[in-house]
A = this chain, B = another copy of it.
Amino acid sequence: MNGVMLMNQSGAKKATMKDIAKAAQVSVATVSYVLNNVSGQTIPEETRQRVLDAASELNYVPNLAARSLIKRQSGLAGILVIRRHDEQWWERAAYSPFIDAMERELTSLGYHVVLSSLDAKAPNMAIIAERKLDAVFVLGAVQDTFHQISRHFPTGVPLVAIDSHIEDPLFYRVQYDYERAALTAIERNNQHCRFLVADRGSIDAAAQLTALLSLPTSQVLVLETEEQLQPFLARQTGDGLILNEYVGLLASRWMAPSRYTVICTAGTPELLRSLPSSSSLLFEDRKHLAALELMQSLRNDSYSGPPHKSILIRPLT
Interface on A for B, CB 8 Å cutoff? 8-10, 14, 59, 61-66, 68-69, 74, 76, 79, 83, 89-90, 92-93, 96-97, 99-100, 103-104, 107, 112-117, 126-127, 129-132, 150-156, 226, 246, 249-250, 252-253, 268, 270-271, 273-274, 276
Contacts and interface: CB of A to CB of B under 8 A. Distances in A.
Copies of this chain, tallied across the complex: 2
A150 B130 CA distance: 32
25 contacts: A8-B156, A9-B150, A9-B155, A10-B155, A14-B154, A59-B152, A61-B126, A64-B131, A65-B68, A76-B114, A89-B268, A93-B93, A93-B97, A96-B96, A96-B99, A96-B100, A103-B116, A103-B117, A112-B131, A113-B116, A115-B115, A226-B273, A253-B274, A253-B276, A274-B274
A63 B59 contact: no
A268 B274 CA distance: 16
Contacts of A96: 93, 96-97, 99-100
A272 to B, nearest CB: 10
Given A8-B155, A107-B116, 14 more contacts: A8-B154, A61-B126, A62-B130, A63-B130, A65-B74, A65-B132, A89-B270, A92-B97, A103-B117, A113-B114, A114-B115, A115-B115, A249-B249, A250-B274
Contacts of A156: 8
A59 B107 CA distance: 31
B61 A69 contact: no
Contacts of A99: 96, 115
